[in-house]
A and B are shown apart, each in its own frame.
Chain A
């Protein structure tokens, strides 16, 4: 496949360490005495960060043609729409 070379350089173990550290940080951060908003924001940022690392390196998105990125990102606007409306909806 086109990107054999990059795959060999793909820093699997480094990513693994980062993911491990981030998970630890999350658990630590979740129990800090902070306002709920801060906690939620921080945790979500870290979670998305981890998710991106997995997608980019383990799922090789980083080495795929651009249009596959577009494909992979295509449902995200819908996710945003649903969640936004859901949040505006105060029952």
Chain B
């Protein structure tokens, strides 16, 4: 879609031509440059990591539900993790800290983020804006093949001397900056190297997404005709682009402290532990929105479609995304209220944090208003999307408690925070991911997922999920601190034993339940009902092409005539009106407004 002759030359990229049928297996499935294949690759890898992260969580929960008691089958784990006792293998605190750290790291960086950005970014952006592929298909491939070694290194760190990193996913210095404090040397270094490599992968993706959305939109696809999923992914890419380098710099400095012995974060040489926290959260808070914005976009798509109604306040939805992206840069201090940061800063960060609650509120109300007077089809994508909304409401509201600095003094670093982040990341992001995978499954595999199985999975997951994480608010309010190996060491926390055991039981069930989705996922791939090009009667460009779309996506470049959410429009006899359908000529009003080449 380039404009100048240089551009044309630059377009000499594999994956953009249309002669792919004789592609050898390795170019088609392993080192593919087709955005859809790369999306699937990201999906399989990060779903694998999702499972790993879930299993780590169950190990952790065993220790919390049955502190210091032998774990059934724990014996198979090496003695460095589980101390063998007469009664059986008991978890060691070192291993518990590694579990805490790796669960967080893997879930955030290797499961949720690649699922949202890697899977949906790759799958949706070119299809929804009517591009034949990404702007830089080879860079896209590189992005995936950088993520793989990063993941391998991260997993490998479990096997090394001293075990995996154990300083929390935030790796606060100096605990993380010198192995002498944790006994973890190589593990922490692998953690740092792995995340640095992953950072390059994310950067490659972000550059690609931004260029593609800016430059490769189909004719007529003005800025305010872009579907919200792509809008969210575009803004997310900008956040990734600007936040990841900050993290990369901090990671490398920490790695230097660990290896060659620099002084950045080491107080013994006047290094500044708080410097790490500032850099980490200056990246980390945009990261939070990297993890939720695409989920919001997916939910908007599904809700508008399944409610057969235009999304309520499309423009304010877009503006809210943009506002979040801006405000997201000035609130990082709210992770550091108790860190010894200047209390003056605490106040200003509290105010900005309060302000950023508003755009999220706007989006929530818009989703609700979209349902109002809709024609709601309660099939599984919609159920997941509605779960996203209802649970995101809880996660958002519980955030206000932490935003208020005095209340945060008490609940900071307690299970209240754990509940909050899981309501946003699991209840929010992950349910949206379920919705998205189910909704766009046809565009990946040409079939539909099994509806009854999905409904079973949804019901069980939704119920168990809440049974697990709702009580964690209460644990936090009783003062139970997070990342704690054995809370019964504290007399005042011992009454919480039953509730912790209850949560642990539910976690086991919750993890087991995911087998239903896994089975459905693979079963439908081969046995699922064949999908038409547009099984959901949707308006987006991705539904104008066959399921799954061919290489190069569009036989001829589509022309866009309207926004993506014209459901139940009087202009159409059915209850949907594709973006590509030419407008009906009505004498009283001129043809559609002319899309300016610059976009809105």
Contact = CB atoms under 8 A, between A and B. Distances in A.
| Contact between A and B in the complex (any CB pair below 8 Å) | yes
Task: Please classify how large the interface on chain A is, using the bins under 10, 10 to 19, 20 to 34, 35 or more.
Answer: 10 to 19
A88 B341 CA distance: 10
A1 B6 contact: yes
Interface in A59-80: 67, 75, 77-78
A2 B345 CA distance: 48
A32 B342 CA distance: 35
A34 to B, nearest CB: 28
B330 A89 contact: no
Nearest to B326: A77
B344 interface: yes
B272 A81 contact: no
A91 interface: yes
B329 interface: yes
A72 B408 CA distance: 38
A67 B597 CA distance: 13
B278 interface: yes
B333 interface: yes
A89 B242 contact: no
B282 interface: yes
Given A78-B329, A82-B282, A89 B342 contact: yes
A82 B278 CA distance: 9
B345 A78 contact: no
B4 interface: yes
A16 B342 CA distance: 45
B335 to A, nearest CB: 13
A91 B591 CA distance: 63
A77 B333 CA distance: 17
B362 interface: no
A88 to B, nearest CB: 6
Name the residue among A2, A81, A82, A90 with the largest chain B CB count within 10 angstroms.
A82
A36 to B, nearest CB: 20
Nearest to A84: B330
A5 interface: no
A21 interface: no
A81 B333 CA distance: 12
A75 B239 CA distance: 11
A89 B278 contact: yes
A18 B274 CA distance: 41
A89 B282 contact: no
Q: Across the A-B interface, give the 4 residue pairs with the lowest CB-CB distance, nearest first.
A: A78-B329, A89-B342, A1-B4, A75-B242
Given A67-B598, A89-B278, A89-B345, 6 more contacts: A1-B6, A2-B4, A78-B329, A82-B282, A85-B278, A91-B272
Interface of A: 1-2, 67, 75, 77-78, 81-82, 85-86, 88-91
Interface of B: 4, 6, 242, 272, 274, 278, 282, 329-330, 333, 341-342, 344-345, 598
